[in-house]
A and B are shown apart, each in its own frame.
Chain A
Amino acid sequence: MRPPLLATRAISKSFGGLKAVDGVDLELAQGEILGVIGPNGAGKTTLFGLMAGSIPPTAGEVQMRGLRVSGRPAYQLVRAGVARTHQLVRPFPNLTVAENVTVGAIHGSRRATGAPRARALEVLEFVGLAGRASDLPDALTLAGRKRLELARALAIAPLVLMLDEVIAGVNPVEAMKLAALIRRIRDERGVSIILIEHVMPAVMSLSDRIAVLDHGKKIAEGTPAEVAANPLVIEAYLGKGHDGATA
């Protein structure tokens, strides 16, 4: 059997005495959308940082196609094909929208073809920002900046795209559009996606599979329907003895 595209093996991260992520095993298959949910402070963003190489793990490792990639600097993971976006959008404010995306297109993964500039424009077209190419990021709305963040990550031509709360914080109409865009990224560009999201309807409808974190541990994993019915998950979100848990 082919090893999974991206996987964590008993990965842990401690900050002092606090175990932010505690022995998590996670696998992402080719072409899959995997949702990661959990209450605030469950360790979702830390797990992302570990998988993207921006935080070194305390124990365990991250594998890509069965090969260990943790411990390498973030830019090398990007070139291997793992791209990420941040919870708080971080465009380069001194560069135009097109330039922002071009920076991502300069190196790109092995899948990347064509000149950076042309690739950047193609990606801008894809996310619907082509008309804003020469604006500064400040001129975009929050939803626009989220699209920019997506475009910059897509310019890498990644195998895996890790999305940290891309949908959160925008209005419902924009949220639907962003969800549709994420599905198109998988369907049309063949990118496998891991997403952290607080907007439950979006995660439930987008994800093929969902992993639930609580206090740094993975407490459940399965299809959206399975996870929603799991008593452990309901307990983590709503607390023990809540009417909803026994109903």
Chain B
Amino acid sequence: MTRIAPGPSPPRGAGPWRGPPSIVPISSALAFVIGVAALAALPLVTRITPYERNLCTLALLMVSGALAWNWMGGYLGQVSFGHAAMFGLGGFVAARLVMMEPPTPAPLAWLIGGLAAGVFSLGAHPMLRLRGPYFSIATIGVGEASRLFFTYWEEFTGGASGLSLPIDPGMKAQLYWWALGLAALVVVASFLIRRTTLGLQLLAIKADVDAAADVGVNATFCQDLVMVLSGTVVGVTGGLWASFFSFIDPQDMFGFDRSIGFVLMSVIGGVGTILGPVLGAVVFVLLRQFLLASYPQLYLGLYGILLILIILFEPLGLTGLGQRLARALRRHRRGATGVVAAP
């Protein structure tokens, strides 16, 4: 694929947009490398408790899931409410592989689980001709159908009582780095998808699928490709999730809550951006942990209120809020110097 220079969607109302440099800015790349290195060193150099480490692992896993969801929901503009299907399938395939005698090595099991989920997501191919709300509604149907199907398929998923994986305390600590590695990989992949011709075609399809076809974009192929990539990553995430909890049940893994979670994380952070889903996932996991502990009855309601506020006031979520603050700050600084410079 050829490298080109698209860059993120410009902020609305920001006037003519001059465009970013053609490759990832050195400062961003450097910040990313330092960030990953710092996170990797965190459990070694500081004395974080296992509880805190586990919370970080969950956040990192959700970062991968949210970014992968965003490839479809953000870049392609096809908002899926059914990603739990891929998450669950990846989780259960990986779990079954780890429980085999002799057990499959966990990383291989995760990978196979992810690939299975990727292939499974191709089942949504006929739905891709639907766009906007119609597509979203169809994904709700597929997600719920998957949940019921896998709940009743007891030989595979253990039914309502779920599956218990062999417990390996070392693995739970190790998973922090696995989750970090996966998240780093998915961030890089997000950049690659966004900044190559594939990303440009996805954005074109998002804007106008017919006009995209008129300039030679094979929308069907692009959409299938992104769906498989997204499904695979979410499936791998599900596999790591299964190893992390050592117990999974289909009602939870395939649950509608989980699908909504992927949507919420991206919306909170900023749909279509790269930083957005990362921030959104971290906020989502922390908030959920806090709310579940303190106000277990309230937490879904609070998410609802949060969602309404974001969509009403800042459709680009936290990322949009950040951009707005940065602009205000710049204006403020320019205003201040202007006053000084005036004779």
Chain A interface residues (CB < 8 Å from chain B): 52, 54, 73-75, 78-79, 83-84, 86, 90-96, 98-99, 102-104, 106-108, 115-117, 133-136, 139, 152-153, 155-156
A108, B216: Cβ atoms closer than 8 Å:
yes
Q: In the docked arrangement, what's the CA distance between A95 and B206, Å?
A: 11
Indicate whether B309 reaches chain A with its CB closer than 8 angstroms: no
Contact status of A156 and B17, CB under 8 A, knowing A95-B200, A102-B4, A136-B10: no
Given known contacts A103-B201, A116-B4, A92 and B213 CB-to-CB distance under 8 angstroms: no
Contact check: which of B4, B201, B214, B217 meets A84 at CB < 8 Å? Answer: B214
Does B154 make an interface contact (CB < 8 A)? no
CB nearest to B211 among chain A residues: A90
B218 at the interface (CB under 8 A from A): yes
Whether B206 lies near A75 (C-beta < 8 A) is no
Task: Contact check, B215 vs A134: say whether CB atoms are below 8 A apart.
Answer: no
B18 lies within 8 A of chain A by Cβ: yes
Q: Which of A93, A96, A106 has the most CB of B within 10 A?
A: A106
A110 to chain B, nearest CB (A): 12
Whether the Cβ atoms of A106 and B214 lie closer than 8 Å is no
Residue contact B211 to A75, C-beta cutoff 8 Å: no
Are B217 and A107 in touch, CB under 8 angstroms? yes
B211 touches A86 (CB 8 A): yes
Can you identify 11 A-B contacts, CB atoms within 8 angstroms? A73-B213, A74-B213, A90-B210, A92-B207, A93-B207, A94-B207, A98-B19, A102-B197, A103-B201, A104-B215, A135-B17
CB of A79 within 8 A of CB of B216, answer: yes
Q: Scan residues 206-253 of chain B and give those whose CB is less than 8 A from a CB of chain A.
A: 206-208, 210-219
Contact B17 A94 (CB under 8 A): no
CB within 8 Å for A99 and B6 given contacts A134-B16, A139-B16:
yes
- Name the interface size band of chain B: 20 to 34
Is there an interface contact between B2 and A95, defined as CB atoms closer than 8 Å? no
| 4 A-B pairs with least C-beta separation | A107-B216, A78-B216, A92-B207, A104-B215
* Given A106-B201, A116-B197: A74 in contact with B214 (beta carbons within 8 A): yes
Contacts of A79 in B (CB 8 A): 216
Contact B214 A52 (CB under 8 A): yes
A90:B215 contact, CB within 8 angstroms: no
- Interface contact B204-A103, CB-CB below 8 Å: yes
Most interface-central of B4, B213, B216 (chain A CB within 10 A): B216
Measured between beta carbons, the chain B residues less than 8 angstroms from A107 are 215-218
- List chain A residues, Cβ under 8 A from B46: none
B285 interfacial by beta-carbon distance below 8 Å:
no
Q: Are B207 and A95 in contact (CB under 8 A)?
A: yes
Contact across chains for B216 and A75 when beta carbons are under 8 A apart? yes
> Does B27 make an interface contact (CB < 8 A)?
no
The reply to whether B217 and A75 form a contact with Cβ atoms under 8 Å apart is: yes
Report yes or no: A94 in contact with B216, Cβ–Cβ below 8 A.
Answer: no
User: A95 with B216: in contact, given A54-B210, A116-B197 (CB under 8 Å)?
Assistant: no
Of A90, A96, A102, the contact of B208 (CB 8 Å cutoff):
A90
CA distance in complex: A104, B212 (Å): 8
- Taking a contact as CB atoms under 8 Å apart, the answer to whether B16 and A135 are in contact is yes
- Of chain A, the residue at the smallest CB distance from B219 is A75
For B215, give its contact among A103, A136, A139 (CB under 8 Å): A103
CB distance from B34 to the nearest CB of A (A): 30
Q: Within 8 Å CB of B217, what residues of A?
A: 75, 103, 106-107
